[in-house]
Amino acid sequence: MKRIFIVMFLCVVTAGAQELRLSVPYSRTVLPNGLQVILHEDHSTPTVSVNMYYNVGSGREKPGRTGFAHLFEHLMFMGSKNVPVGKFDEWLEAAGGDNNGSTNEDRTNYYENVPSNAVELALFLDSDRMGHLVDAMSPEKVDAQRDVVKNERRQSYENRPYGMASIVLSENLYSASHPYHWPTIGSMADLSAASFDDVVEFFRQYYVPNNASLVIAGDIDPEKVRTLVEKWFGGIPAGKRLPPIDAPTPFLLEEKRLVIEDKVQLPQLTMAWLTPAIFTPGDAELDVLSSILTGGKNSRLYKRLVYELQIAQDVSAVQSSRGLSSDFSITATARSGHTLTELETAIQQELHRIKTETPAARELQRAVNQYEASFLSRLERVGGFGGKADLLNNYFLRTGNPDFFNEDLSRYRSLDPKDISTVAQTYLRDDARVVLSVVPEGKTELAAEKKGGK
């Protein structure tokens, strides 16, 4: 028997704090085969977003068999039992819709944005590839998409300036047994070694209804859409229940200094640290710290390196939040005539300052305001990456609560300036990080070989 959960929230304004509470009402249904279905009404435009999450990313892969999750992102558009090759896009576009997919370490996502009168078409297409992709799969199709993925790796990593930096960083932040050690796109050797049977086994293990969640958001009648979901997905059998990922706790006990020679004109420095997983204490603080350091022309590192010292072409910082662990990185590209040691010295001075001097309340508030403005902007649209449908699915995957909007935003609103200094002291340690220099071929003298001063 299916289970239905209906959750409604009122939009209220707290009188004292004058903070708007977000309202994203939804209903949740669990089909007998385990498919989680989340419905959200938004009649502002006559459109609907159908957003499917499969709880499989590169973190579910095994050493020697990497790249499968991303490979399926391609194979899922190559035809299924009742949808010939090329018709997925053709039929959607004829109805006025669009679609896309993405893969990361924690999940694979597919969405279709369609006019509200075409929602059944999107559900049919998604159900056919969930239930009947293998029926239309062949070694020739797998080989063709394997070659496409290999070419994508060449374009995005191997032949791209500074492209191998992210792969080298992950390999040195995480041990070989950790699921984040390898890139989502996989290795050339693993992609080549994968057999057709390996690929089919991967699909049958992970692309099953009880390992998926489906969000349908927009101009819908929930009861009618729920009936359509049961019609198209109800007959797909459940797969085996999957255990949680058994990943070792990542740690660094030393500073690692690495140098890559690349076909680039300017050297680039990246400093990276292991940090808390998404939605755990420290994650929001580091997100805000990245904004204080490089979020705009008045940010600390941008102002210091680019404007005042004029030693950097650009500088950025990011808290890459994920389910098992996160990492925080600072990347700066040197201006012609300057070395990465100069950049590291200046960055180190600013890190020391943020650790020992609490940032001003105004500085923190500006960073929080920037995040809140971006957050609210995403809620203005239903579909696409980062829209309401995607956020509902992401929150459900990571917290079990699709309407985690207020809890997420409150992580930032509740921060104190001392929290920023504390998190920098705790996680951005000089003796537990990776310092990577990417230098022009034959110019290793430009690398950051010394620890920066304070």
Residue pLDDT, tens place only, 383-394: 999 999 999 999
> Is the pLDDT confidence value at 20 over 60?
yes
Q: Which fold has domain 3-233?
A: Cytochrome Bc1 Complex; Chain A, domain 1 (3.30.830)
Pairing of strands 255-262, 47-54: unpaired
pLDDT of residue 14: 37
User: Structural domain boundaries of the chain?
Assistant: 3-233, 255-446
Q: Strands across the sheet with 47-54, in order?
A: 3-7, 26-30, 36-41, 212-218, 47-54, 108-115, 98-103
- The Cα 66–Cα 196 span in angstroms is 14
- The Cα 13–Cα 202 span in angstroms is 48
Confidence of residue 19 (pLDDT cuts 50, 70, 90): low
Amino acid (one-letter) located at 238: A
> Is the pLDDT confidence value at 18 over 70?
no
Residue 227 CB contacts under 8 Å (≥ 6 apart), including other chains: none
- The Cα 207–Cα 55 span in angstroms is 8
pLDDT of residue 194: 86
Calculate Rg over the CA atoms of the chain.
Answer: 24
70, 58 Cβ separation under 8 angstroms: yes
Cβ neighbours around 273 below 10 Å, total:
21
Mean pLDDT for the stretch of residues 252-280: 97
Residue pLDDT, tens place only, 125-161: 999 999 999 999 999 999 999 999 999 999 999 999 9
- The Cα 454–Cα 223 span in angstroms is 63
Instruction: Tell me the backbone φ, ψ of residue 397, rounded to 5 degrees.
Output: -60, -40
Mean pLDDT for the stretch of residues 399-412: 96
Distances (CA, A) of 17 to 12, 404, 412, 413: 12, 20, 14, 11
Domains 3-233 and 255-446 share a fold: yes
> Is the pLDDT confidence value at 449 over 90?
no
Confidence of residue 10 (pLDDT cuts 50, 70, 90): very low
305, 297 Cβ separation under 8 angstroms: no
- The Cα 108–Cα 87 span in angstroms is 21
Residue pLDDT, tens place only, 179-226: 999 999 999 999 999 889 999 999 999 999 999 999 999 999 999 999
Q: Please identify, in words, the CATH class of the domain defined by 255-446.
A: alpha beta
pLDDT of residue 452: 45
Distances (CA, A) of 313 to 199, 266, 329, 330: 44, 9, 17, 14
Helix (H, G, I), strand (E, B) or coil at 170: helix
Nearest CA-CA partner of 112 in 184, 37, 214 = 214
Instruction: Tell me the backbone φ, ψ of residue 99, rounded to 5 degrees.
Output: -155, 165
Amino acid (one-letter) located at 389: A
Distances (CA, A) of 348 to 20, 60, 129, 256, 432: 39, 36, 51, 16, 14
